[in-house]
Homo-oligomer: A and B are copies of this chain.
């Protein structure tokens, strides 16, 4: 007999997150079928409700981790590329993440599946991302413009990533050179946007 089928699983929440994340990354929230998630672990469908209030809460928990992972990736991109231009490294890392996890990114940044106001932990995680960007922005603009600067830099890198994963730039797809060119232009764009912010009385 392979594994002793304990009635009490012992690690269910974790495995639910793992299985759910797998499905989410394959096809978005619609593909996260609670019966599939549970079945894949060998547990009954409704066991999920002992660990998550509902499907939305499960998705939210998965997204929370995704935000943390992304934030970490960006942090590493910064520390591993001390010589490289910082925004260049940030944007490239962001795009890498998006291309590797398009469904994750799609789900993270639209209020469709998850009402963030109902999931404080998710808010904290997503704010962590913006705080990283704010901290970075203060290197190029004033403390007072940290939020605006973070918004601006996120806008640019997220917009670029979105266009790429949604295939909206036919000419760019699968051309690493063109992409890295776009990344450099975006980085320049970010920095001058920050400069513009700094030059305003604000």
Contact = CB atoms under 8 A, between A and B. Distances in A.
A26 to B, nearest CB: 13
Contact of A110 (B112, B130, B156, B188): B112
Contacts of A182: 148, 151-152
Given A106-B112, A112-B29, A162-B158, A172 B151 contact: yes
Given A148-B178, A151-B172, A182-B148, A109 B29 contact: no
Contacts of A196: 184-185, 188-189
Interface residues on A, range: 35 or more
A16 interface: no
A155 B186 contact: yes
Nearest to A130: B168
Contacts of A186: 152, 155, 193
Oligomer: number of copies: 2
B200 A192 contact: no
A111 interface: yes
Nearest to A202: B181
A160 interface: yes
Interface string A114-129: 0011000000001000
Contact of A185 (B102, B110, B185, B193): B193
Interface-centre pick from A30, A172, A189, A197 (highest chain B CB count, 10 A):
A189
Nearest to A192: B192
Interface of A: 28-30, 102, 106-107, 109-112, 116-117, 126, 130, 147-148, 151-152, 154-160, 162-163, 165-172, 178, 181-182, 184-186, 188-190, 192-197, 200, 202
Given A151-B159, A151-B172, A188-B192, 10 more contacts: A107-B112, A116-B166, A126-B168, A147-B170, A147-B171, A151-B160, A156-B156, A181-B197, A181-B202, A192-B193
